[in-house]
Structure 1
Amino acid sequence: MRRSLTVRAEPTILHLDLDAFYAAVEQRDKPSLRGKPVVVGGTGGRGVVATASYEARAFGVGSAMSTAEARRRCPNAAFLGGRFDAYREASAAVMRALREVSPVVEPLSLDEAYVDLEAADLPDRSVASVSALARTLRARVAEVTGGLTASVGIGTSKLVAKIASDLDKPDGLVVVPPGLERDVLRPMQVVVIPGVGPATAERLRRAGVHTVEDLEQLSEEELVSLLGRAHGSGLHAMARAEDPRPVEHTREAKSVSVEDTYDTDHVDPRLISALLDRQSAKVTERLRKARLSGRTVSIKVRLHDFSTVSRSATLAGPSDDGRVIARVARQLLRELDTSAGVRLLGVGVSGLADWIQEDLFADEEQPPVVVDPDTQAALDAASRGRGWWPGMDVEHDEHGRGWVWGAGRGVVTVRFETATTGPGRVLSLKADDPALRAHVRPPPEDPPEDPPEDPVDAAADVTDG
């Protein structure tokens, strides 16, 4: 078969996907939950599932399902909120392990990345050689994360590598030899192709296209007529396993922001608020395009006398919700006296994380914002009996470390155990017990670079990878 010039001749693109990542971290750190169904996400009636363990998936629980439906399907599961500090720590260890293999690593999220094996130290790039490397890498990931598993796919392109990593989950390894890419793709539903979302899939269905093989039968002209020049041409190539996208070693964005300078000073508070809302919407659009969310919302205001002030607030959890970002921005603006005029206005979001909508981890009845840049305020509030949520790390002066099983009516129930202790006992304590407090995880082994002094000014533009 003739090899396309737009893909590699050897299987040198690796895609790694950590299995049920959030739930797996919870099971690792909570011995009593190992081998049992775990659901991570919003724990209230309006919550949404972010990740379900494989034990919970056996009951039909899946990502983006409402928590209420998940509880109906699997009432005995442990329903936990997200612990992003723990997830980021595990993710950082995995990314370091990937960079031990190759200097060219493209993270897609906390639990997913591409690796360019052309830059790896290999005796050759045969199927046998890259397979051996992948087996060593999976063992290394388990070692550095305390037992987490990863599924790996390797192929001649990003498309094939990513699809291959899904073929043998969990803890699997699939290498697609050069020349067999189309054989692998043809039986699959067309939605496996990047860019085929619900709307495109419906248009293709109406044209009689259900599988990649069906898509392959259409000419480029037919697809362009159906979907437009760029989209149609792209799908025509993807259906033939032609994906020239390189693995891109990009610097991670520290913040996403929008700011505008005005020709005349604005004094109308309603107008200023509306401008802030519009900027918040633009920031949200960039976050979602990059599949990111952030914990800290900042505003920057340059007043009539050219003085510049900034304010920021830390959310209870990462968010890409424009309504939340706008609400916090307006709240911060109310702290400033803008009656003499505003000549520059900016909104930014920092503390970026893997893209998870806030409603996956926070419920409406919980306070959405801690208006204090220092997260210690949130920890102080928790120690006074407020802010307890299922899955939260805590410690007690007498009983040691554990995690919150549930809370309500002035009582917090804690299971005292850690990843290394084995299953622990459960105690119910007063929510305002002065000996009980949130547990602060130690800083990571390789801390991130210092954040810019002004996260709005120093924001990096976020683009698709």
Structure 2
Amino acid sequence: MSDARWVLHLDMDAFFASVEQLTRPTLAQRPVLVGGLGPRGVVAGASYQAREYGARSAMPMGQARRRCPHATVLPPRFPLYKAVSDEVMAVLAEASPVLEPVSVDEAFLEPPSLAGAGPAEVEEFATGLRAAVRERTGLAASVGAGSGKQIAKIASELAKPDGLRVIPHAEQDDVLAPLPVRSLWGIGPVSGEALRKIGIDTIGQLAAMDGREVTGVLGSAVGTELHRLARGIDARPVAPRGAAKQISAETTFDTDLTAMTAVHDAIATITEAVHRRLVADGRAARTVTVKARTGDFVTTTRSETTPFAGRELSTLTAMAQRLAETAVGEGGVRLLGVSVSGFGDEPPLALFDAVPSAQGWTTAPLTAHLPDTDGDGPGTAAGAVPVGAGGRSTGDAAVVRTLSGEPDDPVPDVSVRAEPVVRDHPTMSAPEHDVAPDLPDPAPGDHPDPDRPWRAGDDVRHPGHGHGWVQGAGHGRVTVRFETVATGPGRTRTLDAADPDLCRADPLLSWRPADLAEQP
């Protein structure tokens, strides 16, 4: 096989946990779990030290803590992870104009300068790439290289942690053959079990099968593609990902919501998170979908589509709340989600907006959405139809029961109260990954428990001690370890929880305090 093409795959090692260990130096080389802290919390990231005890991403946090009881458990700081990710992607973009980000912590690249190069030259390039990422971020990255995206991704997995693996074209069949079939991109539990039942456990065995037999087991389209990948044939281009087809946010609650007023409040908070991303992307949406999941993992969805795209928060919220009334059954819900889709360009300023009414979708002056200024209720112009007065739902209900009793989302929920996880859904498929995209910033002062405002993992700042993070709080006291990347391991201080000099701080200050303006 010709050495004409080289694709590289860079993957940040245990990204979430590694960022925590970097910015909180006391945690370096210690077990760290990142994820939801409530009774339904899920692990979003686990350090390699925690993985040695069997803890892993997507595992219930309670189970992970039982396996690794001495681990430090921290809530996710998604704005910080996104900032670090942006820096990583900037390094890759400088190294190669052909770049395809796959998730917040991994990407493919195909440097034109490596076309026709030998393995030694590729290794030298990848070594420099890893060094540049470490210099710019302080973090380790694993890189794999091969003749296509599949080989490159497998190579980076073999290189972990903090390693480099270049698979020469002539050796790729020998490398692939003994690997389990689940190593192939696209083979999940169901297809893996179907192959196991006919005695196919390794990639080499799959490659040796007759193509017709493979399609008979896995289907024509999927089977043909997987059979090609098993034989090392992968001509898929490295290209920028398309725009998201959908923006969604969802929250798993510590206890089931049983009152419709609580459901409406939660839907409003989640919709606001989606709306922020919609506005930031400069787009408008026609379809709103609400997802509700009960305690026994029965999932119901409802959708509604408007005649034209819009992005008025009040309209989106009214739609979502009305949909929730039919999606939520008796007995309460453990999870609520809102998504918007059917995107159009950013709408121009208009005098009218779509408003749901008992007769369907009508137009009403934008003043119908203004806040109450005269004490007569929400600002409603004469003749305007009140928001939330009913309407029609154009989407069919979809009720799904997961037979395994586990959530059916491809990305695990991270249980965080009042901080919905926002997800963009791309146009092209990507391998399943245990990372959640960035979380919207909580509003100032927003906190799960206003009576005990400090929780473990909060970023804080004190004029006398600098930047730090909360290790624990209670009984009117708060223990803070003051440290950043720049300071190295720091000392702990126990302060009065009401100390006026102790204030919340930007998580990015724990990573690059010199690059950011000082907080008061």
Structure 2 length as normaliser, TM-score?
0.65
Q: Kindly provide the CA deviation profile for residues 7-36 of structure 1, in whole angstroms up to 9, marking residues without a partner as x.
A: x74341000001111111111111111121
In structure 2, what is the equivalent of residue 396 of structure 1? Answer: 462
**Equivalent of 2:141, from 150, 153, 165?**
150
The residue aligned with 1:316 is none
C-alpha distance in 2 between matches for 1:271 and 1:48: 27
The residue aligned with 1:337 is: 386
- 2:63 alignment counterpart: 69
The answer as to whether partners of 1:262 and 1:343 remain within 8 angstroms in 2 is no
Cα separation, 2, equivalents of 1:44 and 1:19: 26
CA contact (8 A) 2:368 2:386 kept: no
Measured after TM superposition, the shift of residue 73 of structure 1 is 2.0
Judged with a 3 Å threshold, the aligned counterparts in structure 2 of structure 1 residues 178 and 141 are, in CA distance, closer, same or farther, namely same
Deviation by residue 1:88-144 (Cα, 9 ceiling, x = unmatched): 1111111111011111111111110000122xx459621111111100111000000
Say whether 1:111 aligns with 2:156. no
SS of the residue corresponding to residue 143 of structure 1 reads: helix
Is the alpha carbon distance of 1:133 and 1:283 closer, same or farther for their aligned partners in structure 2, counting shifts above 3 Å? same
Which of 261, 273, 281 is the aligned partner of 2:306?
A: 261
1:241 CA displacement: 1.1
Q: CA deviation at 1:389?
A: 3.3
CA–CA distance in structure 2, aligned partners of residues 60 and 237 of structure 1: 34
Q: Could you tell me which amino acid in structure 1 is paired with residue 83 of structure 2? A: E
1:302 aligns with 2:355: yes
**Which amino acid letter does the alignment assign opposite residue 419 of structure 1?**
V
RMSD over aligned Cα atoms = 3.7
* TM-superposed deviation, 1:46: 2.3
Shift of 1:253: 4.0
* Corresponding residue of 1:415: 481
After superposition, give the CA deviation of every residue in 1:282-329 in whole Å (9 maximum; x if it has no partner): 93899xxxxxxxxxxxxx953533445899xxxxxxxxxxxxxxxxxx
Gaps in structure 2 of 5+ consecutive residues: 248-284, 288-304, 309-317, 329-335, 343-352, 357-361, 370-384, 396-409, 422-438, 513-520
Aligned AA (2:339): V
C-alpha separation in 1, matches of 2:97 and 2:319: 50
Q: Could you give the per-residue CA deviations for residues 56-86 of structure 1, whole angstroms, max 9, x where no partner exists?
A: 1222221122222222222221111111121
What residue number does 2:123 align with? 131
- The answer (yes or no) to whether the contact 1:216–1:240 under 8 Å persists in 2 is yes
Correspondence for 1:52: 46
Aligned-partner residue type, residue 161 of structure 2: P
Paired residues in the alignment total 380
CA contact (8 A) 1:393 1:402 kept: yes
Equivalent residue runs for 1:85-124 within 5 Å: 85-118=79-112, 121=113
Whether 2:169 is the aligned partner of 1:185: answer: no
Alpha-carbon offset, residue 421 of structure 1: 1.3
The Cα of 1:376 is off from its aligned counterpart by 6.8
Is 1:273 the counterpart of 2:323? The answer is yes
Q: SS of the residue aligned with 1:174?
A: strand
1:171 aligns with 2:162: yes
Letter in 2 for 1:273: L
Which residue, 75, 79, 83 being the options, matches 1:81?
Answer: 75
SS across alignment from 2:488: coil
Letter in 1 for 2:323: S
Q: What's the counterpart of residue 283 of structure 1?
A: 339
The answer to whether the 8 A contact 1:50-1:64 is kept is yes
Structure 2 Cα separation of the partners of residues 338 and 183 of structure 1: 64
SS in 2 for 1:75: coil
1:160 aligned residue: 151
Tell me the amino acid that sits aligned with residue 155 of structure 2.
A
Alpha-carbon spacing, 1:305–1:341, altered in 2? closer, same or farther (3 Å): farther
Q: Among the aligned pairs, what percent are the same residue? A: 42
The 2-side partners of 1:302 and 1:415 are apart by: 51
The amino acid of 1:98's aligned partner reads: L
For structure 1, the 5+ residue unaligned runs are 287-299, 312-335, 347-354, 446-465
Tell me if the contact between 1:261 and 1:343 (Cα under 8 Å) persists in the aligned partners. Answer: no
Q: Say if 1:401 and 1:18 are closer, same or farther in 2 by CA, change over 3 A.
A: same
From 207, 211, 214, the equivalent of 1:220 is 211
Specify the code of the residue in structure 1 equivalent to 2:491. Answer: R
Superposition deviation, residue 255 in structure 1:
6.2
The farther-off stretch of 383-392 and 181-190 is 383-392
Moved more, 11-20 or 41-50: 41-50
TM-score (norm 1): 0.72
Q: Counterparts of 1:254 and 1:87 in 2: how far apart (Å)?
A: 23
Tell whether the 8 Å contact from 1:390 to 1:407 is kept in structure 2 after alignment. Answer: yes
